[in-house]
Amino acid sequence: MPIAADSSSSLSGPLVVALVYDGLCTFEFGIAAEIFGLDRPEMGPGWYRFASVAIEAGPMRAHGGLRVVADGGSELLEHADIIIVPGWRGAEAPVPIALAEQLVAAHRRGCRLVSICSGAFVLAATGLLDGRRVTTHWRYAEELRRRFPALLVDEAALYHGEDRIFTSAGSAAGIDLMIALVRHDFGAEAANSVARRIVMPAHRNGGQAQFLERPVAWRRENALGPLLDEVRASLARRWTIAAMAKMVNMSRRTFERRFVETTGLGPGEWLAAERVEAAKDMLTSSTASMDEVAAAVGFGTAHAMRHHFRARVRLSPTAYRQEFLPV
């Protein structure tokens, strides 16, 4: 099967194609090209073949002012072993019906479908993700969940894969997923080699939960606003639900109901989340020991802090400090 003229004719491995569209996400496409399209003679003739596929007539533009000409058209999708959707031009941008149908047909014949970041919206439009656990950039997670309620959206994961369909989180998480595909197809040594060449770890700990912006509680003009501020300012204090309810002159039942209405979380869950956020700040801005951090933010012990930290950040406090401590 002839593919693009500039594709290496000496290679016989899986054909990887990356979609090209007007408004192309340049970095996401570059990830696919770097992993699968770079000449790697040390991998032998069975290494991946790579081509770009235009899903619409030109001229096409990419982020950064680039003009894009693809290797071929949608006919390449019929022969691909892996199809990559490198981002998408917007959560609200419609996905062409013909493209969705081609992706469904490709999956039925055994092709793997892969999305990076907002490319999950394209795969979701095919219906193939219904009932599956998927991910995307955490900023798009709620919109993906709203538009495609049949999906199980996990905004904390770096990537998910099931039944030859793979989704990844924000841009750089696409690298993690691509390396994981290499590991699956060619083994750990090949994955490590590719990772070394792009100066990336072959496997990152944790998930994108470690990057989530600190949630800002939606606050009505009511008595809870000053209470939330006071709790944040004195997290080391032993806060109880009864004590907080008493401070705002509410019964415990009324307080818990109003608290959820105001913050979206129960008092205990909100307090633990605030303490984790404060711990994150201390871990990356001081040399305090784990016990000192735990005491300062109200967890009491390093053991308790590790428990809550792992539950919310998917990393241990020590690993988080190593990952994000400024150089």
Share of residues in the chain with pLDDT > 70 (%): 88
pLDDT in tens, 93-121: 999 999 999 999 999 999 999 999 999 99
What is the distance between the alpha carbons of residues 74 and 164, in angstroms, rounded to a whole number? 20
What pTM was estimated for this model as a whole? 0.65
Pairing state of beta strands 133-134 and 152-153?
Answer: parallel
Angle value at C-alpha 169, between 166 and 170, nearest 5 degrees: 140
Instruction: State whether the Cα torsion 132-137-141-144 is positive or negative.
Output: negative
Give the tokens for residue 229. 């501020």
What is the distance between the alpha carbons of residues 50 and 37, in angstroms, rounded to a whole number? 5
pLDDT in tens, 130-174: 999 899 998 899 999 999 999 999 887 788 888 899 999 877 888
The domains spanning 15-210 and 224-324 adopt the same CATH topology? no
CATH class held by domain 224-324: mainly alpha
The residue ranges of every structural domain in the chain are: 15-210, 224-324
**Whether the predicted pLDDT of 8 surpasses 70:** no
What is the distance between the alpha carbons of residues 295 and 275, in angstroms, rounded to a whole number? 10
DSSP bridge pairs for 167: 115, 160
- Please give the pLDDT value at position 150: 95
Q: Which fold has domain 15-210?
A: Rossmann fold (3.40.50)
pLDDT in tens, 30-48: 999 999 998 888 899 999 9
pLDDT in tens, 268-308: 999 998 898 889 888 878 889 999 999 999 999 999 999 99
